[in-house]
Amino acid sequence: MIRVLIERHIAESLESAYEERSRKVLQQAVSAPGFISGETLVDAHDPNHRLTLANWRSEADWDQWYHSEERKGLLTELKPMMDRDEVITVLTQS
């Protein structure tokens, strides 16, 4: 199993619109092969800094979802609401 940390920073005043669309992304990921679970967290010191921690069966499963047309389409809805590019970190246990 791997974990994927996705960090996004939302532009001011777009939080509620972002929340609605980001839920769609997570809902679609749930049906992707290899998806195990996920949660979204808010930075306690910066409410516009969002982190999603997702568990995937393998890096290959994550890569398939990451490069899918479905995710790309959903991300085109999120990108205008972000004031920075998303940062993705793939984590494994040592």
Question: In the beta sheet, which residues pair with residue 56?
Answer: 2, 35
Looking at residue 55, its pLDDT comes to: 97
Looking at residue 26, its pLDDT comes to: 87
Q: Where are the beta strands (DSSP E) in the chain?
A: 2-9, 35-43, 46-56, 87-91
Looking at residue 86, its pLDDT comes to: 96
Looking at residue 94, its pLDDT comes to: 82
Domain carrying residue 16: 2-91
pTM, rounded to two decimals: 0.92
The enclosing domain of 79 has a CATH number of 3.30.70.100
**Which residues, in sequence order, are CB contacts of 14 under 8 Å at separation 6+?**
81
Looking at residue 3, its pLDDT comes to: 98
- What's the total number of domains in the chain? 1
Looking at residue 24, its pLDDT comes to: 87
Mean pLDDT of the chain: 95
